[in-house]
Structures are given as C-alpha cells and as structure tokens.
Amino acid sequence: MNYKQAIDHPIFKTIGNAADELGVDCYIIGGFVRDYLLKKESAKDIDLVAIGSGIELAKKVAERLPGKPKVSIFKNFGTAMIKHKDLELEFVGARRESYQRDSRKPIVEDGSLEDDQNRRDFTINALAIGLNPHNHGVLLDPFNGIDDLENKIIRTPLDPNITYSDDPLRMMRAIRFAAQLNYEIELKSLQAITENKERIHIVSKERIVDELNKILMSNKPSIGFKLLHQTELLSYILPELKALQGIEEIEGQMHKDNFWHTLEVVDNIAKTTDNLWLRWAALLHDIGKAPTKRFDKKIGWTFHAHEFVGSKMVYKLFKRLHMPLNDKMKFVQKMVLMSSRPIILSEDHVTDSAVRRLVFDAGDYVEDLMTLCEADITTKNPRKQKRYLKNFQIVRQKIIEVEERDRIRNFQPPVSGEEIMKVFNLRPSKEIGIIKEAIKEAILSGKIPNEHDAAYNYMLQKGLEMGLKYSKK
C-alpha cells in the first residue's frame, strides 16, 4: 500500500535522497506513522531507521538542509538527532537487540529492517514507511499493526513473555497506550504483564513516573489505573492506592471502596482540569484512609485525620518515586490536607467567616481546591449530587464576594509588628504574636473589617485587656 500522503513534508524527500546517495535504505517508523494513521496531529519527534549507519545518514541529511543544522551525536546509543524547524529527527541504524536479566539495556548488533521491527514494543509502533525513491511511501507492516489500530488492540510483535521480561518498561507503556488511545491490551499480553510484574524493579523510578503522568493526563485515567490494578503492578508502584481497595463489613455496616471511588474522582477531574498536579492530588486525596480506618461501635467506620495523615504520605510517596520535592509536592500536600474542608463547610449554612477561613488557609489554591471537591462528588443519588453541586456553587460565589470585600487571599496583617511594638513600647516578645493573632482572628470571624484603622483600634483594646501600657509619643 502507498502512504505518500503521510510523508508529503519536503523533509522526507530530502532524507530519502540523502539515503540513496549513501546507498542505504531509510524508513520512518514508530509513533509518527501510528499517529498519522490515527489521524492525530503529526508528532514532532520523528524516528528514522537506516539500514546502515544512522549517524552517517544524519550527517548527510544535515548537509542538504538549509542552514546546515547541527547534528547531535549520541555515540553510546548509536543515534543522531537533528532539529529542523519544529521537528526533531532522530536517526538510528537498524538493530537487533538481546537482553540480560538484570538490565533493560540491550546488547545491540547491526540488523535488518525486520530485526528492527521485531525489537519494537507493540505492533502499532512497528509500522514503517519507506523514504528512498524506490519505495517512497510504501508501508511495511509485518505484524498487522494496521488491523490492531482498526481493532484497538495493544499487541507485541513477538512472544509477550519475552518482550515484557526483556524490557519491563514496556508493561507501563502498554498500559499507558491503552489509557491514551482507549485500547484493549491483548489477553496474552495482560497475562504476561501479570507474570512479569515484579520485574518492574529494574525500571528507573523516573521512567515509571513519566508513564504514570501520561496515564494521568489521558482523557480517562481510570483505564490505566484499572489495568495497573488488574495486572497487580499497582502493588509495586503505588501500594498506597492498592491499600484503599476493598470493602469491610462489621455489624452490618460497610464503608465505600475508596480505590474505585478514587478512580471516579480522577476521571471527573480529568474533565475539568489539565493541571497534572491537581490530577495527582485527586489520585492521592484519600490515601490516608487506609492507615486511619477504624470501626467504632457507636459511629461506625471512621477515617479520623486521614487528610493530615494522607498529606504526610504524599511526601514519602514523592520521595520514593523520585518525584520533585518542591512546590508541586507542597501543592499536592495542601490539596490532600484540605480536601474535606469545602465539603464540611457546605454541609452547613455557608457563613462568611467559614469562607474567609477557607480562603485564608488555601490562598491562591482555593479554586483548585473547589475543583477537587467537585470532582470528589461520586454519589449515585441524583438528589444528593444536585444538592452538593449547588452548595459548592454557593461557596464559589461567596469566595468571590468575600474576597472582593475582605482581600483575605495572601493575607497581610493590617497592623505590623513594628507598629504594635511602638505603640506599647515593647521589645520583640510573645505579646506581639498574641496581638497579631487576635487581630487576624477578629478579621476572619468578621468582628472587624480587614482595614488598618479598625485593626489599630482593636489592637489598643486588646493591649489594654492584656495590661499593656500605651506609650504616648
């Protein structure tokens, strides 16, 4: 079949001619071909395989391109990269790979196109299109990848047991593609992943997290997490989530399955935000529930302080997975810590002071927190769902009103420490902190407005109560 259209960008002619000049064949392979056939926006990273030296071909191509772009050569990998406009062209020589037990880095030998297609992870990633003049636009699809695209199936070119055992990262990639494309993983593959799950330990944490992030950023992340659960990879990667799974019953009282609930929350939030870290917060918002679960004869199941415990667990989880321990982590912690606040608040009559406290504690993240809490509504009772959503609308509206009036976000004390010291002729001491705290409390509770003069008078009154002497200038 002819796929000239896929390669109508002039760069592909240039590459084909350069390859001919060197007397090698060259193919475009992998993600670009797959995404073209899926009618997705064309990928900007383009993988090219030469039946010969990829590095030599890259040099030849660069010579023929306007401005003679730089060729970055990665000798250890036998690859070369050229940046041309918004494209990244990655050249590699066709290779045959063999693996050792303890590493996902293969021993590499020169090979044919077939060898190179055999080493690819999935049939849909092994599709190649010829670029030389004699086979320009000819599709080579030895494993029926086209059919698998049609049938929405993830399948490995070779025996899946070997494919996944050789490079266990492919287990994560299979699940990630299933989530991104909404595909099924072939049964044989699923079984092989389950069998090889413990081999995930030879994959670096960073690569695992890359794939987790891609699953989280897909339209329906639950597809990926269900597969991680089904293949039992979840226990190795995110045991905190695995621990949420299951329902216990004591004296006829049950709690909800917090794992499946969490997946619903993540799917919900995927519809309203593309913020990766907010999606992480949704994934982790209930992790404190496993270690805090108790049964009390009078009140039934409780998860006392699970938000606090959960936020502590976020740090350990990020650290274990070599994720950034920076403001992103702190953001996720804050979301987990505060994840029940808007719900508690909206169950009651929504008062201004409760909203002020919420804004004070959440600061700039208050909208993100509301987004998380809205996603957290997974009740199947339509009346309840409607009521919760309506209450959250009221909270959101009140946040805007209160903020306009009281400017609580990024709160700055309206009376400074220096002013307090001067008025009462104090040295730095704990009295100053007490007065500042009292002013803040008075503002949040609505006793006084967030203004200097009102706060100043309140300070005088408070100081008097504390027996401080007013120092006249």
Q: Binding residues for ligand ATP, how many (CB under 6 A)? A: 10
Looking at beta carbons only, is 197 or 341 nearer to ligand ATP?
A: 197
Task: Return the ∠ at Cα 24 (arms to 21 and 28), rounded to 5°.
Answer: 105
**Token representation of residue 427:** 């040295």
Residue among 422, 428, 432 at smallest CA distance from 471: 422
Q: Cβ-closest residue to ligand ATP? A: 31
For residue 84, what are the β-bridge partners?
Answer: 87
Summarize the chain as % helix, strand, coil (round to 5). Answer: 55, 10, 30
CA atoms in the 13 A half-sphere facing the CB of 84? 23
For 380, the 3-state DSSP assignment is coil
Residue 420 binds which entry of Mg ion, ligand ATP, none, with Cβ cut-offs from 5 to 8 Å by kind?
none
Residue 45 interacts with Mg ion (CB under 5 A): yes or no: yes
Residue 69 interacts with Mg ion (CB under 5 A): yes or no: no
Taking the C-alpha atoms of residue 43 and residue 65, their distance in angstroms, rounded to an integer, is: 20
CB of 327 to Mg ion, least distance (A): 29
CB of 210 to ligand ATP, least distance (A): 9
Q: Per-residue string for binding with ligand ATP, 43-62, x by CB under 6 A?
A: --x-x---------------
Give the range of 118-126, 234-242, 304-312, 324-332 binding ligand ATP by CB under 6 A. Answer: 118-126
Residue 289 binds which entry of Mg ion, ligand ATP, none, with Cβ cut-offs from 5 to 8 Å by kind?
none
Residue 125 binds which entry of Mg ion, ligand ATP, none, with Cβ cut-offs from 5 to 8 Å by kind?
ligand ATP
Give the range of 120-128, 198-206, 272-280, 429-437 binding ligand ATP by CB under 6 A. Answer: 120-128
Task: Return the ∠ at Cα 452 (arms to 455 and 469), rounded to 5°.
Answer: 50
Note the helical H segments in 89-131. Answer: 113-118
Give the range of 16-24, 166-174, 255-263, 464-472 binding ligand ATP by CB under 6 A. Answer: 166-174
Taking the C-alpha atoms of residue 294 and residue 296, their distance in angstroms, rounded to an integer, is: 6
Q: Cβ-closest residue to Mg ion? A: 31
CB of 48 to ligand ATP, least distance (A): 11
- Tell the burial category of 364 from Cβ atoms under 10 Å away from its Cβ (0-12, 13-18, 19+): exposed
CB of 107 to ligand ATP, least distance (A): 15
Taking the C-alpha atoms of residue 184 and residue 227, their distance in angstroms, rounded to an integer, is: 10
Looking at beta carbons only, is 92 or 345 nearer to ligand ATP?
A: 92
CB of 79 closer than 8 Å to CB of 92: yes
Beta carbons within 8 Å of 250's beta carbon, 6+ residues apart: 295
Taking the C-alpha atoms of residue 118 and residue 106, their distance in angstroms, rounded to an integer, is: 14
CA atoms in the 13 A half-sphere facing the CB of 347? 6
Taking the C-alpha atoms of residue 444 and residue 447, their distance in angstroms, rounded to an integer, is: 8
Give the range of 29-37, 90-98, 337-345, 421-429 binding Mg ion by CB under 5 A. Answer: 29-37
For the range 464-473, what are the long-range contacts, defined as Cβ-Cβ under 8 Å and sequence gap of 24 or more? 466/431, 466/434, 466/435, 468/424, 468/426, 468/431, 469/424, 469/425, 470/423, 470/424, 471/422, 471/423, 471/424, 471/425
Residue 167 interacts with ligand ATP (CB under 6 A): yes or no: yes
Looking at beta carbons only, is 174 or 354 nearer to ligand ATP?
A: 174
CB of 50 to Mg ion, least distance (A): 18
20: left (phi over 0), alpha (psi -120 to 50) or beta: alpha
Give the range of 117-125, 288-296, 384-392, 453-461 binding ligand ATP by CB under 6 A. Answer: 117-125
CB of 43 closer than 8 Å to CB of 31: yes
Residue 155 interacts with ligand ATP (CB under 6 A): yes or no: no
Looking at beta carbons only, is 31 or 449 nearer to Mg ion?
A: 31
Residue with tokens 């929504």: 350
Of positions 60, 155, 170, 436, contacts ligand ATP by CB under 6 A: 170
Residue 463 binds which entry of Mg ion, ligand ATP, none, with Cβ cut-offs from 5 to 8 Å by kind?
none
Residue 169 interacts with ligand ATP (CB under 6 A): yes or no: yes
Residue 248 interacts with Mg ion (CB under 5 A): yes or no: no
CB of 49 to Mg ion, least distance (A): 13
Looking at beta carbons only, is 31 or 142 nearer to ligand ATP?
A: 31
Of positions 20, 31, 315, 456, contacts Mg ion by CB under 5 A: 31
Residue 42 interacts with Mg ion (CB under 5 A): yes or no: no
- Footprint of Mg ion (CB under 5 A): 31, 45
- Footprint of ligand ATP (CB under 6 A): 30-31, 45, 47, 120-121, 125, 167, 169-170
